[in-house]
Chains A and B, each alone.
Chain A
Amino acid sequence: MIEIDENALIRCPVCEAVNISTGDETLCHRCGSRISNQKSSTQKAWAYLITAIIAYIPANLYPMLITKQFGMIEGSTILGGVVTLWEHGSYPIAAIIFFASIVIPVMKFLILIYLLISVKYPIGKDKKVDKHKLYYMTEAVGPWSMIDVFVVAILAALIHLANVEIVAGTAATAFAISVFFTLLAAHAFDERLIK
C-alpha cells in the first residue's frame, strides 16, 4: 500500500495516464514522456505567446489577399475583407471569418494571459472548474483560426487568369506564424498550474 495525496496526481499530457507528481520533473510511468517542469513551462508559454502576439500585429496591418484585376492591384486586410463581405451581404461568411481570424485569436491571447497571470497571482481562485474548461476550450477552438489562411491559399490556387488573379499577401505568413505560436503556447502551458 502506498499512501498518496490526491493533489499530487497529475495527468500525462501525452498518453493521459495518471501519475504521482514527484516535485519538479516527473517521467510518465506508462509512456516515459517527461511531464514538464512547472517553472520552465510557464516561461515557455509566455515566450510563445508574446511571439504570437507580435506576429498578430503585421497580420492585421498588411494585406491578406491581393486581387489583381485588369491591371488594378488591390490588397485587403483581414478586417477589410470582413467588412467587404458584410457589405456584399454574405453575413454568415463574414461572421465565420470574423470569428476565426479576430475573435478566436484575441480571445486565446486574453485567456492564456489570464491563465498565466493567475499561476503567479491568486486571481479567480475559487472557480476551479471554469478555468479548466476555459483552457480546454482554447485548445479545442484554437486551430480554427487557420481558416483564413487556407481560404487565401485556395483562392490563390483557383483564381489565376491572365486578367484576374488572386495572390496571398504578407499577412498570410504573419497570421500563420501567429496561429502556430499560439498553439505552441497552449500546448506548453502546464494544466496543473491551474489552481
Chain B
Amino acid sequence: MKIENEEALDRLIICQQCHTLHEEIPIKDGTKAVCTECGSMLYHYDSRLVDNGLAWSITGLIFFIVANSFPLVNIELLGHEQFITIFKTFLSLFDSGYYLVGLMSLFLIFLFPLMIFLINIILFTLLKLKKAPQFTKELLILFSHIKPWSMSDIFLISVLVALVKLIGYAQIHMGVSFWALAIFVAIDLYITKRIHISEIWMLRKRIFENKGNR
C-alpha cells in the first residue's frame, strides 16, 4: 500500500469493532459510512456538526443541572416520607464510612458526566469561533480519557432497579430529577451515537488548515 505523506494517514480509518482498514470517501450531507466487514458505523458527515453539537450539549447541561437540583424519588415507608437527590446518594455512602465507593460514585455519576458536557460546550464554541487550536486538541484528548468513565446511564437503570426492589414495601413517587436525568441520559446517548470523536478531530483539522495552520 502506498500513501503520499503522513498527512494522508488522516484519510484512513480503522473500524472500531473489527479493525478493518478503510479509506475515507466524501459522502452526502447527513449520511453515514459503515464498515463493509461488520456493518458498524465509521463516520457521519454533517455540515452543521458544530451548531448541532453545541445546541445538544447546552440542552444536556441544563437537564443535568435540573437533575442534580431536585429530588429523584420520594417514597412513603411506614408512614415516613423519604426522598433522595443524586447528591444524597454520595453523602449517605460517606456517612456510613464507605469513602472509596462514595468517591467513585461522585466521579462516575457527577463529575465525569458534568465534565463531558462542559468540555463539549467549550470545544464546540471554540471550533465555532475558529480559535485556540492547541487548547481544542487538549480538550479532545481529555474527552477521550473521561468518556468511558461517565456512567449516568447506568445510574438511571440502577434507580429503576432499586425502586422495583421497593415495590410492595413503600409508596413510590418519581421526582422531577428522575425525568430530567432520563432526558439527560437520552441526550448523552444521542450525542455519543451521533458525534464520533474522530469526526471532531477531522473537523478541527479542516478548520485550522483553512486558517493557514496557525
Contact = CB atoms under 8 A, between A and B. Distances in A.
A157 B89 contact: yes
Contacts of A5: 1
Contacts of A11: 14, 19
The size class of the interface chain A forms with chain B is: 35 or more
Nearest to A3: B2
A160 B92 contact: yes
Contacts of A139: 148
B21 A9 contact: yes
Interface in B105-133: 105, 108-109
B198 A150 contact: no
B157 A93 contact: no
Interface in A1-31: 1-6, 9-11, 14-20, 29-31
Interface stretch (B5-13, B49-57, B61-69, B183-191): B5-13
Interface residues of B, number: 61
B91 A157 contact: yes
B55 to A, nearest CB: 24
B158 A14 contact: no
B168 to A, nearest CB: 8
Contacts of A167: 96
Contacts of B166: 155, 158-159
Given A6-B21, A17-B201, 8 more contacts: A6-B1, A16-B13, A16-B201, A92-B164, A133-B17, A146-B158, A153-B158, A176-B104
